[in-house]
Structure 1
Amino acid sequence: MHVPLLLHHFLDRAVSLYGDKTAVINDNRSYTYAQLNERVNQLSYGLRDIGVVKGDRVAYLAPNTVEMLEGFYGVFQLGAVMVPLNIRLRPDDYLFILNHSESKVLMVDQELYHLITPIKDQLTTIEKIIVHYKDEDCDEIDYEKWLSKYSATSFAREDIDENDVCSLLYTSGTTGNPKGVMLTHRNNYLHAMSCMHHLRVSDKDIYLHILPMFHVNGWGSPFYYTGNGATHICLRKATPELIFKAIEDYNVSVMHMAPTVLNGLLQYYEQNIPALNQAIRVVIAGSAPPPAFVTRVERELGWEFIQVYGMTESSPLSTISTVRSHLTHLPLKEQYRMKAKAGFPMIGCDVRVVDENGDDISKDGKSIGEVVTRSHGVMLGYWKNEEATMQTIRNGYLHTGDMATVDVYGNIDIVDRKKDIIISGGENISSIEVEGVLYEHPAVLEAAVIAVPHERWGETPHAFVVKRPGKELTEEEIIKFSRDKLAHFKAVTSVTFVEELPKTASGKIQKVHLRNDYWESHGKTGRFVN
């Protein structure tokens, strides 16, 4: 008999095998898997009581908390759909997403409730707003008081098919409104099975939630760490100081984060040198980090660096950068360079890099093509947006919009987003490659490179640089440094020094804002405004 691939089976397994083990720690609260399951049942009963039925959307606006974690399973037992919201958006963004998704219930953390207040009267489908950690002067439903009214006994689940949509994740809209990515139970389940293998997840793991759970379900962490009986540590705010404290307090073994967050940890470590005694795996996704990052993380911090690649539309992970056993004879420098790449396809993922004709590019580390993928993780489509779905999924492959090379070992290396490639004098320049060189400068804390117009060459690289505290640095020094390290046509021709770079909630640098700001400051608009 076929057993459907349903996500609440991961929690069932944890309760059965690890019921008395600590499942989650959130500030001063701690719950075993049996206790977490009871809260999940109470949530399911409560949602059913206020009218949530199979297929309804339940939105969550919350940082990494136990309430967010239990939301996934409590919502899924009803066959309802989880709509996790990015906590760094504006009220107008929430208005669009909540109305577009036709969400019926909104769960919101008290510290984020002020983002909903301005749009509350314009919400067309929200029937109930329930507040986590509610203040006395807030007139919405208090989550804990509401939850306590319901039974913690086993919940009679709805009849759910593995191809039913379970989560609706809105991608950040740099061109128009955000799009709602529909992921099914099957998408997330098989993605979790692949990830837990490649990331070597076990019941010994203590997982620190740094990447927000709303960010592609925190890379599926609510599923594969739960299914293996690992312990979740919820961190409401992910500052370097709090991260290192949590590592020490809870003996953390694995973390997922963006490269910019890891950069912040390296800077903190330099200044404070906290004692680190345990083996830690740090899983990095986002823009490709400079190889120097990998070297520093593994040599200075003593952590294992694992680069992964994917996107919301593929559940999300498709590749991993670990060095395969038959390549460990390579020089360390080459191994570190390999670890900084997107890597090779995970089990169950068919990942190719193709030219404009759809043919595989040469494995020469130089030819550039677009990354396309097909897997069990590829989304069902965009919610109420068939046109965008058809543009993204063509000939059975998800077209990522990421440009890459492939080396002789089959490792994929992301060189840029299509829109971020700099075309100077007919030559393609990877902004990521230029950024990697700038990070080697001892006075550079952060760097981002965009294309700016040039009368002779059409476009040239322009750098936005954040200086390290107490360091002096000039535009001329940066330009000379990049010319010494790169082919001259790749070197930056101008520099803007900034206090900080704009980032998404997951820590990814938002180049679209840098482009727009540059053009606005120069009194014009152009192809870089998107």
Structure 2
Amino acid sequence: MALNNYRALPSSSCPSQGKSNHVPLSPISFLERAVRVHPDRTAIVEDDATFSYQSFYQRCRQLGGALQALGITSDRVVSTLGMNSRAMLEAHYGVPMAGGILNAINARLDGASVAFIMAHAETRILIFDRALRHTVAAAMALLTTPPPVLIEVEDGSGKASPWDLSTPHDYESLVKGAPPCLPVSPEEESDCIALNYTSGTTGNPKGVIYSHRGAYLNALSNTLTLKMDDRTVYLWTLPMFHCNGWTHTWAVTAAGGTHVCMRRVEPARVLEMIHTRGITHMAAAPIIMTMLLDRPEAATPLPHPVMLATGGAPPNSATIARMSALGFNVLHLYGMTETYGPSLVCQFQPEWSTLTIEARARLQIRQGVGTLAIERVALKDPVTHEDVPADGQSLGHLMLRGNTIMQGYIKNPEATLEAMGRGWLDTGDIAVMHEDGYIEIRDRAKDIIISGGESISSIEIEEIMMSHPAIREVAVIARPHEFWGETPHAFVVPASETDRPSEAELLSWCREHMAHFKVPRHVTFQASLPRTSTGKLQKYALREQQKNQMATA
């Protein structure tokens, strides 16, 4: 039979064919299915209150109706500024149900940054937590564009203070009083469902465009990667404003699981909820793992295994080993805002089970292989675009291709072309590929240290130094050197201020455990390291600190 016989009939011969075999993909369908299949199952737990999928779905439709009444139509932006709450989850469904685009703003930004994002996104409505009203007031005072309609969420932080610019609507009253909308389906699955702004550490943040299709596929990929099902009880320790919670806002619902909201991550409460709420899954930056291990409760093994997905910064093997001993199944992921969150996973291999916890942890710190939603992963020379050998030593730029790569940067075609113009998303990360095909990040392109012509991975030094029992955290950056060009400079958080090694003792230990040219020439002890709200090290802040140190030396 000729190949053409396997292809679809032309639409003219079967006008209704497209309706029967093509529906634009959208994660909103996950909630619509959940309410059909298990309407009475617990969808959300917030404090002591529980909400069924039927209630969740109804409230999302009412939120959509309220937003439409306030002027939200197709492609209008609704921003949120809040922590992990039921209202934030409802916005992930109610906003696109109304036909709008969701822009979840980092709740830890200052007023000027919030004002820039709202102006750039042309925000029509802002839903915000009452505890953040002062940030909102500061942002509103700086806006030079028409101000958005304000909707305030009661979050237990106290009575709202007077507003100088406008009086916000009350979220709960607005939702309860609105007629439910008829959910709007996207005309094309490539239509925008969300805008997520990058951190903007080297300039203004860029608005990353997420499509309904990409969000749908990444969410399903996550349900499989994290082995979610209808028994999943997911604790929200990952900010929902970060890549829409790595699309777990939609993934947990796709699995028919339960969302357990936690506005503020308190390590003692996290461990308590694992025991009392039966938490099965959570996601967190490596710093959260360190905080959990610092708690005295961490001496007691968990009552059941908990899948913990981590990313944002490479974890060290010592931390993974300790978490594994406690009862956490640590799954290392890699991703970025431009990839809807997770795009690589350190897929656990059965033969690793026979290894010691320490040996297994050294494999688990690798970033791994592409998730199901990523079609191709490659390490390429950034100039020639040739693949580099998979020998565990040759460095190349990590590049990705697939259906969960952003649509581009809004209003920024130049940056879009720079990132994706050669048919791959250039992540800007420097990595090696091992013979088994697993990727291991060695550094950001801007963080690699070139000393006497040798490339030194700051992450490699950090990994080795973290095995010292007196070190709690460490970050390594390049320090200018007249002869070598650059040498490593380590910023160290000691495990104990009263019993920390001297700089000389620590450097002597380093010389025993790494090649001498990699040993830091300088060590700075301090109480903490600067991090973003999602746990990423802010090495640019350390560079500024170093610059000031050198200027006053």
Both structures adopt the same fold (TM-score exceeding 0.5): yes
SS at match of 1:378: coil
Match of 2:13?
Answer: none
Aligned partner letter, 1:209: W
> What is the TM-score when the length of structure 1 is the normalising length?
0.95
Aligned partner letter, 1:200: K
Match of 2:539?
Answer: 511
Instruction: Return the offset for 1:252.
Output: 0.4
Call closer, same or farther: CA 1:136–1:402 in 2, change over 3 Å.
closer
Match of 1:502?
Answer: 530
Alignment of 1:256-267 (within 5 A): 256-267=283-294
Q: Distance in 1 between matches of 2:231 and 2:150?
A: 37
Q: Distance in 2 between matches of 1:113 and 1:214?
A: 17
Match of 1:127?
Answer: 148
2:413 is aligned, of 386, 389, 397, to 386
Instruction: Return the offset for 1:403.
Output: 0.5
Match of 1:249?
Answer: 276
Match of 1:354?
Answer: 380
Match of 1:71?
Answer: 91
Q: Distance in 2 between matches of 1:411 and 1:239?
A: 34
Q: Distance in 1 between matches of 2:52 and 2:451?
A: 58
Q: Distance in 2 between matches of 1:56 and 1:484?
A: 59
1:101 is aligned, of 104, 112, 121, to 121
Instruction: Return the offset for 1:369.
Output: 0.5
Match of 1:26?
Answer: 46
Greater shift, 372-381 or 12-21, is seen at 12-21
Identity %: 36
Match of 2:17?
Answer: none
Runs (5+) with no aligned partner, structure 2: 1-20
Aligned partner letter, 1:514: L
Q: Deviations over 1:352-399 (max 9, x none)?
A: 111232111111111111100011001110010000000000221000
2:335 is aligned, of 306, 310, 313, to 310
Q: Distance in 2 between matches of 1:345 and 1:389?
A: 22
1:338 is aligned, of 359, 363, 377, to 363
Call closer, same or farther: CA 1:159–1:341 in 2, change over 3 Å.
closer
SS at match of 1:416: strand
Call closer, same or farther: CA 1:272–1:337 in 2, change over 3 Å.
closer
Query: Aligned pair count?
Result: 521
SS at match of 1:523: helix
Match of 1:443?
Answer: 470
Aligned partner letter, 2:100: A
SS at match of 1:496: strand
2:548 paired with 1:482: no
Instruction: Return the offset for 1:272.
Output: 5.2
Q: Distance in 1 between matches of 2:185 and 2:441?
A: 42
SS at match of 1:420: coil
**Contact in 2 for aligned 1:187/1:378 (Cα 8 Å):** yes
Match of 1:527?
Answer: none
Q: Distance in 2 between matches of 1:126 and 1:369?
A: 45
Q: Distance in 2 between matches of 1:5 and 1:193?
A: 11
Aligned partner letter, 1:293: T
Instruction: Return the offset for 1:500.
Output: 1.1
SS at match of 2:247: helix
Instruction: Return the offset for 1:275.
Output: 5.1
**Contact in 2 for aligned 1:318/1:351 (Cα 8 Å):** no
Aligned partner letter, 2:481: H
SS at match of 1:75: helix
Q: Deviations over 1:476-497 (max 9, x none)?
A: 1221121111100111111111
2:550 paired with 1:522: yes
Instruction: Return the offset for 1:276.
Output: 1.7
Match of 2:177?
Answer: 149
Match of 1:41?
Answer: 61
Q: Distance in 2 between matches of 1:128 and 1:206?
A: 35
**Contact in 2 for aligned 1:367/1:405 (Cα 8 Å):** yes
Instruction: Return the offset for 1:125.
Output: 3.4
2:347 paired with 1:322: yes
Alignment of 1:50-449 (within 5 A): 50-123=70-143, 124-133=145-154, 135-138=159-162, 139-152=167-180, 155-269=182-296, 273-274=299-300, 276-299=302-325, 301-325=326-350, 333-349=358-374, 350-356=376-382, 357-449=384-476
Greater shift, 512-521 or 130-139, is seen at 130-139
Q: Distance in 2 between matches of 1:491 and 1:17?
A: 59
**Contact in 1 for aligned 2:394/2:432 (Cα 8 Å):** yes
Runs (5+) with no aligned partner, structure 1: 525-530
Aligned partner letter, 1:517: Q
Match of 1:528?
Answer: none
Instruction: Return the offset for 1:330.
Output: 6.2
**Contact in 1 for aligned 2:449/2:455 (Cα 8 Å):** yes
Q: Distance in 2 between matches of 1:448 and 1:47?
A: 45
Instruction: Return the offset for 1:193.
Output: 1.7
**Contact in 2 for aligned 1:466/1:499 (Cα 8 Å):** yes
**Contact in 1 for aligned 2:401/2:423 (Cα 8 Å):** yes
**Contact in 2 for aligned 1:314/1:375 (Cα 8 Å):** no
Higher gyration radius (CA): 2
Aligned partner letter, 2:29: H
What's the Cα RMSD here? 1.7
Instruction: Return the offset for 1:425.
Output: 0.9
Q: Distance in 2 between matches of 1:111 and 1:208?
A: 22
Q: Which runs of 4+ in 1 moved over 3 A?
A: 136-139, 325-335
Aligned partner letter, 1:212: P
**Contact in 2 for aligned 1:21/1:33 (Cα 8 Å):** yes
Q: Deviations over 1:205-247 (max 9, x none)?
A: 1000111001001111111111111101111111211211221
Q: Distance in 1 between matches of 2:31 and 2:53?
A: 8
Q: Deviations over 1:335-357 (max 9, x none)?
A: 32221100011123111111232
Q: Deviations over 1:168-206 (max 9, x none)?
A: 000001111000000100111111122211211111110
**Contact in 2 for aligned 1:316/1:377 (Cα 8 Å):** no
Q: Distance in 2 between matches of 1:428 and 1:275?
A: 41
